[in-house]
Amino acid sequence: MELTPLSPAPSDGRVFTDVARAGLGDVAPSGRLRLDAIARWLQDAAFADLVDSGLPDDGVWVVRRLRIRVERFPRFREAAEVDTWCSGTGSLWAERRSTVRGEDGGLVEAVALWVHLDAGGARPRPMPEGFEAVYGASAGGRRVRARLHQRSDPPEDAERAPWRFRAADLDLADHVNNAVYWQALEERMSGEAPEPLDAEIEHRTPADAGEAAIVSHGAQLWLTDGAGEVLATLFVASPQS
């Protein structure tokens, strides 16, 4: 399956740099940064960029799709810079590219599709006024689509394992934060992670706290709620590729 392309950094336009450091709560027993921590770093950088831009916006941004390609995992206590920029737009969404560079050689490339919702987080709505002036140059006129690509229904012979989303996993939108879903892949890897590692998640419906399941078949994972509804799909392209 083809993953979302990782476009190069722009030659013109806004590129925002955030800073992070791998702390005790971010790493696996081996000392490498966990995937859910990487996703959280990316979210924090995106929010910091929006605040720094001064763009007036009372809407809500949610992740629809996120690809993370780890060339080398940042390690415990490693400081990193997170460069992030708008790499494409649609009528109701925008694509954001990010690069994480650790001071000791950690390197992560990522691309996310963020959908812009109304203040209540219920319906998509157009970009906030002034968005093009702030982010248009880095996007360079590139248009992106929000259509999902991964298989939405697991096969009958897929393996199923119990999972649970906790009340502590809920965020300001009152649903499970997008970064938490990467813990399912961490669970499958049991702390071991190859380098490079390349995976992409697609979010289909918000999740509440409660019983869930991890369904797996080959390189594909599905996260379902207690009733079996698919909440998200996750495809691991490497080390298979």
Q: Are residues 227 and 178 part of one domain?
A: yes
Considering the domain boundaries, does residue 11 fall inside one?
Answer: no
Q: Rounded CA gap, 40 and 46, in Å?
A: 10
In this structure, what token pair is assigned to residue 194?
Answer: 């190859």
Residue 174, pLDDT > 60, answer yes
In a domain, 32, yes or no: yes
| CA–CA separation, 196 and 165 (whole Å) | 28
Amino acid at 31: G
Which of 111, 44, 102, 97 is closest to 73 using CA atoms? 102
- The pLDDT score that the predictor gives to residue 241 is 39
- As for how many domains the chain has, the answer is 2
| Residue (of 112, 108, 51, 122) closest to 87 by Cα position | 112
On the question of pLDDT at 66 being above 50, the answer is: yes
Domain with residue 41: its CATH number is 3.10.129.10
pLDDT at 240 over 80: no
One domain for residues 82 and 122? yes
Q: What is the pLDDT of residue 59?
A: 87
Are residues 59 and 21 part of one domain?
yes
pLDDT band at 238 (very low <50, low <70, confident <90, very high): confident
Residues 4-51: tens digit of each pLDDT: 999 999 999 999 999 999 999 999 999 999 999 999 999 999 999 999
- Percent of the chain whose pLDDT exceeds 70: 99
**Is residue 148 in some structural domain?**
no
Residues 36 and 99 in one domain: yes
The answer, as to whether pTM is greater than 0.85, is yes
Judgement on whether residues 38 and 129 belong to the same structural domain of the protein: yes
Structural domain span for residue 179: 159-238
In a domain, 149, yes or no: no
Residues paired with residue 8 on neighbouring β-strands, in sequence order: none
Grouping H, G, I as helix, E, B as strand and the rest as coil, residue 82 is strand
Place of tokens 């799709």: 65
**Residues found in the chain:** 241
Residue 207 inside a domain? The answer is yes
Which of 236, 179, 176 has its CA nearest to residue 212?
176
**Rounded mean pLDDT of 159-174?**
95
Average pLDDT over residues 98-107: 98
Segment 172-184 shows an average pLDDT of 94
pLDDT (0 to 100) of residue 116:
94
How far is 130 from 230, CA to CA, in rounded Å? 36
Enumerate the β-bridge partners of residue 124: 117
Where a domain ends, among 105, 139, 173? Answer: 139
pLDDT tens digit sequence for 207-236: 999 999 999 999 999 999 999 999 999 999
Assess whether the previous peptide bond of 196 is cis (omega < 30° from 0).
yes
Within a domain: residue 184? Answer: yes
Cβ atoms 186, 136 nearer than 8 A = no
Same domain, 128 and 165: no
Check whether 181 has a pLDDT greater than 60.
Answer: yes
Radius of gyration of the chain, Cα coordinates, nearest whole angstrom:
17
Alpha helix stretches (DSSP H) within the chain: 35-53, 131-139, 182-189
Say if residues 84 and 96 touch (Cβ distance below 8 Å).
yes
- Are β-strands 210-217 and 107-117 bridged in parallel, bridged antiparallel, or unpaired? unpaired
Q: Does the structure show a pLDDT above 90 at 122?
A: no
Q: Does some domain include residue 146?
A: no
Residue at a domain's end among 139, 169, 198: 139
